[in-house]
Structures are given as C-alpha cells and as structure tokens.
Structure 1
Amino acid sequence: MLIFFKERLALLSLPKTGSTAYQVALRDRADIVVSGPPDLKHAPVRRYDRFFQNIFRKMYDTEMEIMAVVREPVDWLGSWYRYRTRTELTGHPHSTDGMSFDKFVQAYMQSPRPAFADVGSQTEFFRTRSNGAGASHIFRYEHQDEILDFLQGRLNARINLTRENVSPKRELILSDQTLDAFRKAHAAEFRLHQQAR
C-alpha cells in the first residue's frame, strides 16, 4: 500500500495484480509505504477505510481517493496457481506443484476451500464498509498504459517500472465444464473486471 498525502491518493495492493512493481517504483515518492506484514500491505478497502482513512478524517478532515487494480478472474487465479508452484513451497499445504490448473480452479469453487486454493476474492477486496466510499479508481490489470498515465499525471512524476515477483511459467488449461462452472459461481468477479477502466 502506498499513500500520497498531497495528492490525496491511496494505492491499494490487491495481490497478483502487479502491485509490487508499483511499490518498488514509487516507494521513495510516497508519504506512507506499507510493505508488510501481508495483512497490512494487502489491506482491502474495508480495512484501509477502517484504519487508515479514519486517521485522515479525524486528524486532517480529509480523505484519500482509493485506487487499485483488478485482474481478469481466470488470469488472476492463474497467477495464484503459478505463484504457488514455486519450489520453495513444495510439500507445503499451499503448494500447487504437480497439480493441474483445472484442479486448482475446481478447488477454488469448494466451500470451504483447501489451503492451496484459499486465495481470497477480488470482489471481497473491494467490499466497502456501510459508511465507506469505496475505491474511486479501479483499473484493469491489462491496461498498464492507462494505469501509468493516471499515476504519472496525478503524481506529476515519471515512473519506471521493473518486473517484480514474477510467477513461474505453467500451462493454464481449463475444461469447458470447469470454466462454465467458475463463470456461474463467481459472476461478480467477472462483473467487477468488466466495470473497471
């Protein structure tokens, strides 16, 4: 999470949406950098609003606009699946090594989810509190040029991105049956992505 006080902007870090690259590029420019622990670095809108936004309201009588990036749902799960195939996770309950992507997505649709598929939800990340304003700027992950243009204009700064936290390459093959079931069970995830910029 990065907060730019003068520009009244909070860049929240939804996991597996390229947020680490922006954090590396902009940490020296931000007024507040939250790089850990993960529950704070990746604080969802509700948690940000409850703790961080409340500080700005009470101390400065102002609010930060919230910006975040959302990823196409199958691609987002694919990134999680590939990330969890890392050799350092072998033998860990979160490991997806040796597992097909189809099996991973099927497990994601279970309730409760097994540990390896328990990666949260993009719609849950953006859920607001009853009195919260929510995110003002939601960009699609695949629109990196628009994200850069927005941030460079808002911050009046040139941003040089580097690739960070890159997941291992793996085939992402889904059966038609699994894809159809996922689209039906998680239609809200697809709507969120479609409504983003």
Structure 2
Amino acid sequence: MLVFYKERLAFLAVPKTGSTAYHSALHDRADFIVTGPPDLKHAPVRRYDRFFQNIFRKMYGTEMEIMAVVREPIDWLGSWYRFRSRDDRIGHPHSTRDMTFDEFVQAYMKSPRPDFADVGSQSQFFRTRSNGFGASHVFKYENQDKILNFLQDRLNMQINLQRENVSPQRELALSPETERKFRKRHDAEFICHDAAH
C-alpha cells in the first residue's frame, strides 16, 4: 500500500497485480508505505477504510481517493498457481508444483478451499463497509499504459517500472467444463474485472 498525502491518493495492493513493481518505483515518492505484514500490505478496501482512512478523516479532516488494479480472474488464478509452484515452495502446504492448473482451479471452487488454493478473491477485496467508500480508480491489469499514465499525471512525475516478483512459466490449460463451472460460480470476479478501466 502506498499513500500520497498531497495528491490525496491511496494505491491499494491487490495481490498478484504487479503492485511490487509499483512499490519499488514509487516508495521514495510516497508519504506512507506499508510493505508488511501481508494482511496490511494487501489491505482490502474495507480494512483500509476502517483503519487507515479513519486516520486521515479524524486527524486531518480529509480522505484519500482509492486506486487499485484488478486482473482477469482466470489469469489472476494462473498467476497464483505459477507463484506457488516456485522451487522454494516445494514441500510446503501451499505448493502447486505437482498439480495441473485445472486441478488448482477445481480446488479453488471447493468449500472450504485447501490451503494451496486459498488465495482470496478480487471481488471481496473491493467490498466496501456499509458506511464506507469504494475505490475511485480501478484499472485492469492488462491496461498498464492507463495505470502508468494516471499515476504519472496524478503524481506529476516520470515512472520507470521494472519487472519484479516474476513467477515460473507453467501450462495454464483449463478444460471447458472447469472453465464453465468457474465462470458460473464466480461470476462476481468477472463483473469486478469488467467494471474496471
């Protein structure tokens, strides 16, 4: 999470949407940086509003506009699957090394989810509190030019991004049946992505 006080902007870090690269490029420019623990670094809209936004309301009588990035849902799960197949995850309960992407997505649809597939939900990340505000600026991960242009305009600076946190390449094939079930069961994820810029 990055907060730019003068510009009244909070950049929330949705997991697996390239936030690490933006953190690295902008940490010297931000007024408030949260890099850990993960529950705070990746604080969803509700948690940000309840704790962080409240600080700005109570102490300074202002609010930050929220921006975040959302990734196409199957691609997002593919990123988690690849990330959890790293060599340093071998033997860990989160490892996806010995399974197919299809098996991973099927596990994601179970309730409760097994540990390796328990990666949260982008649509839940954007849920608001009953009296809270949502994200003002939500960008599709695939529209990196729009994200970069928005930030460069808002922060009045040139941003040089480097690729970071790159996961191993893996086959990301889904059977038509698994994809159909996922799209039906998790349609809120696609609605969330479709609504972004």
Aligned mates of 1:39, 1:193 — CA distance in 2: 22
1:128 maps to: 128
1:16 maps to: 16
1:39 maps to: 39
Aligned mates of 2:36, 2:4 — CA distance in 1: 18
What do the CA deviations read for 1:151-188 (whole angstroms, capped 9, x no partner)? Answer: 00000010000001011100100000000000000001
Q: CA deviation at 1:131?
A: 0.6
Could you say what secondary structure the match of 1:66 adopts? strand
Q: Does 1:171 align with 2:167?
A: no
Instruction: Number of aligned residue pairs: give it.
Output: 197
Q: CA deviation at 1:98?
A: 1.5
2:57 maps to: 57
Q: CA deviation at 1:64?
A: 0.1
Q: CA deviation at 1:14?
A: 0.4
Aligned mates of 1:189, 1:40 — CA distance in 2: 22
2:191 maps to: 191
Aligned mates of 1:22, 1:130 — CA distance in 2: 30
Aligned mates of 1:183, 1:33 — CA distance in 2: 35
Aligned mates of 2:23, 2:167 — CA distance in 1: 17
Aligned mates of 1:101, 1:136 — CA distance in 2: 33
2:3 maps to: 3
What do the CA deviations read for 1:22-67 (whole angstroms, capped 9, x no partner)? Answer: 0000000000010011110000000000000000000010000000
The Cα RMSD (Å) is: 0.4
Question: Which AA in structure 1 matches 2:73?
Answer: P
What do the CA deviations read for 1:48-97 (whole angstroms, capped 9, x no partner)? Answer: 00000000000010000000000000000000000000011111110000
Aligned mates of 2:188, 2:38 — CA distance in 1: 25
Aligned mates of 1:81, 1:52 — CA distance in 2: 31
Q: Does 1:72 align with 2:85?
A: no
Question: Which AA in structure 2 matches 1:158?
Answer: Q
What do the CA deviations read for 1:121-173 (whole angstroms, capped 9, x no partner)? Answer: 00010001011111000000000000000000000010000001011100100
Aligned mates of 1:167, 1:17 — CA distance in 2: 12
2:153 maps to: 153
1:143 maps to: 143
Aligned mates of 2:109, 2:11 — CA distance in 1: 29
> Counterparts in 2 of 1:90-109, with a 5 A limit?
90-109=90-109
Question: Which AA in structure 1 matches 2:167?
Answer: S
